[in-house]
Chains A and B, each alone.
Chain A
Amino acid sequence: MGDTLNINNKAQQQNTFDAIVIGSGISGGWAAKELTEKGLKVLMLERGRNFEHLKDYKSASKDIWEFPHHGRVTQEELKRHPVIARTWGTYEPIIDYWANDVEAPYVEIKPFKWWRAYQFGGRSILWGRQSYRWSDFDFEGNAKDGWAIDWPIRYKDIEPWYDYVEEFIGVSGSIENIPQLPDGHFTPPMDLTCVEKDVSARIKEKFGRHMIIGRSANTTIPKEGRTNCQFRNRCWEGCPFGGYFSTQSSTFPAAMKSGNLTMRPWSIVTKILYDKDTKKATGVEVLDADNNQTYQYFSKIVFVNASALNSAWVLMNSATDIWPEGLGSSSGELGHNIMDHHYNVGASGTVEGYEDKYYYGRRPNGFYIVRFANLFGDKRDFLRGFGYQGSGSRENWSRSVAELSIGGAYKDALTEPGQWTIGMTGFGELLPYHENKIYLDKNKKDKWGLPVLAMDAELKDNELKMRKAIREEAVAMLEASGVKNINSWDNGHEIGDGIHEMGSARMGNDPKTSVLNKWNQVWDAQNVFVTDGAFMVSSACQNPSLTYMAMTARAANHAVEELKKGNI
């Protein structure tokens, strides 16, 4: 065990904090903010480089023509990103925001797209910002269907924490009074386009379904230290205005203001140090990704926020002398029940009659069609449901022009906006299956000689049936709204591609069937909290980050209370 290393007392003292947070992304940033603001001395560990707000957004004030390839990635760049090369994430200004897939490989037992960002702020820089609350239809889903295990919490447990995080991060959205998608504390909503408004009205009239403006963590009013969204729609390059929520723009400045935060980049946590006598973690071991030295840091509590799959990886590598499969594996569920949201299935078409309408600005958001399947009497041949995200806009120069192919008239025609189109993709719930799993492949090593994850997860019958419905319902709604030239598709879905991987260390009421208790504490080491997507018991169909934030703030509050009481 690492904690038997001979470290002198002074060094140990210097390396001792009240809390350690593993990871600096969406949930790690929230853990650091909450714990430091409550007075704890916190060490935040990031496995990649530092990445500073404003200073490191190198492309943010450049125009597209200032990039040698106008946004297209070069082959040299793609060599470092063979996984991202299979996705829509290849864009010249941000290609290096993605992890180097070659240095940190993984094994695909079944096809798996793992979108990783190994730098300070993690994927909070690159995320899609869609922010939706869950409802009790979601928290009660497993129990009602008799699927997997019950969630140990209900909406009332998380509701005040949704309020709390929304207020801080700034979520723009509209008040709708929809039971399955509770309203939040929103900043003013963005507009729907003319076409979206009318399609929304027709869908409401003909189906009783809700097509609303997306709820997006782009604040439409200024927040402390942040300007409101400027509608450039270049969020993922890093926003020089702080217009959207990221660790850099929001939680990190708050944590720094407390004076209690130490941030250490290049810190790959190789294990959590565990003391079998006290049955608690004592700290972590870190491999410095830059100089390959090993360091130990000590703390009263550890928050694990390395992203769902890497958090499971850290647990799998910890306390293996007690549990060969790692800390939290006593239930047999660590690394199992891997979920995601499946998409790449939808429909689009053209809309006539709005030639005298247009829009101003670039909206970093679209519309959202709220789940309707298997709710309020709707009954399907599959469990759970799906939502849709999409947008309606006018075509640009990349369209074809009738009767013209070359020359001045052709060029001038292309300088005007084309016809209106509208399109959407479903986002479907994926059930937790024990056999959808990840595990350590000890034969394959990464650049630092560490074992890598093997991914063995796939869509099953329930999801495939759902995808048929997603496609058919998309066509039906567009048809009923008068949309023409409808084209529908199902391009298949590899797990991970939703960038919502989750479930690897689920919470529950029973230590025999879950890794974490209802406060996100590892049953087998109650001063270890896992509050990223790993804790999820089911996936619902809403984008999950807001729920991770709320659950992290809730767990941090609980951790500090328990510390005060001397319980951990």
Chain B
Amino acid sequence: MKRILRDTCILAALMILCVFTVSMIWVGMTDEIRLVICLFGLSFVISLANYFIDEYTTLPILKCYAVKYVSASGIVMLFGFIAGWFYKSNFWMAFIYVGIVLVMAYFVDAVRTRRDIEFINSKIKSKTVHVNK
């Protein structure tokens, strides 16, 4: 199921990219196309920032997500102001958008980490039992 969901998201992203690229060639730049390109650019910058956070820090899971929250909110706000998504009165909405995504990601990550640890330890245990036999 996890793989189907992941493949669905990748396929949807590719479809959106293809459709909007063709539209851009056909009808030129519209607001919708600009929005999609901005969203892809935003995702790339956030992923890059997350990569460096994961690679160069060994923070506990909660602190790691807190750092990612601050960095992603900053990037979204910066992008939002440049692209004109936010006005001075509603810039705080970036914190809510990023917060919702990161809270979901945190829970998925925490469950996955626990399961991976259980899996690895069970394999080590079964190996030890075999050796002892």
Bound together: no
A residues lining the B interface (CB < 8 Å): none
B residues lining the A interface (CB < 8 Å): none
